[in-house]
Amino acid sequence: QQPVQSPQAVILREGEDAVINCSSSKALYSVHWYRQKHGEAPVFLMILLKGGEQKGHEKISASFNEKKQQSSLYLTASQLSYSGTYFCGTLSGGGADGLTFGKGTHLIIQP
C-alpha cells in the first residue's frame, strides 16, 4: 500500500525550513528518501532502518517513528538547489517486496 506524504507542495524562501512527512498503514522495516528534479532521475538522500540505523548524506536530517510507521525529512536553511520533488519509499519487514513510493512532495525554493 502506497505511503502518504504531506504536504503535497511547499513554497519557501531561501533560508527557511521545511518538514516533509511520510506515513504508512503497514509495519515498516525501512524508509527511503529520494529527491527528483524536473526531467531527471530520482537521487538518493537517506535510508532510515528499524532499530535506528541511518545511511545517507550528512547534510540531510530525518526521523523514523517505528511505532507510528511515520518518517519526517527536515530541510533546514533551504537553498535554491533543494527545489524538486521529494519521495519517500517504504519497505515492510519480513517480505521480499520492493520499495513502494509515495506520490511526492513538490518543494519550490524562491530567492
Partner 1 sequence: DAGVIQSPRHEVTEMGQEVTLRCKPISGHDYLFWYRQTMMRGLELLIYFNNNVPIDDSGMPEDRFSAKMPNASFSTLKIQPSEPRDSAVYFCASSGQLYNEQFFGPGTRLTVL
Residues 34-73 interacting with partner 1 (rule: CB under 8 A)? 34, 40-44, 47, 49, 55
Q: Is 84 in the site for partner 1 (CB under 8 A)?
A: no
Using CA atoms, how far apart are residues 50 and 5, in angstroms rounded to an integer?
19
Binding characters for partner 1, 3-32, by CB under 8 A (x = yes): --------------------------xx-x
Around 48, how many Cα atoms within 13 Å sit in the side-chain half-sphere? 21
- Cα angle 33, 35, 66 (rounded to 5 degrees) comes to 15
Q: Between 44 and 74, whose beta carbon lies closer to partner 1?
A: 44
Using CA atoms, how far apart are residues 83 and 106, in angstroms rounded to an integer?
8
- Binding residues vs partner 1 (CB under 8 A): 2, 29-30, 32, 34, 40-44, 47, 49, 55, 87, 91, 96-104
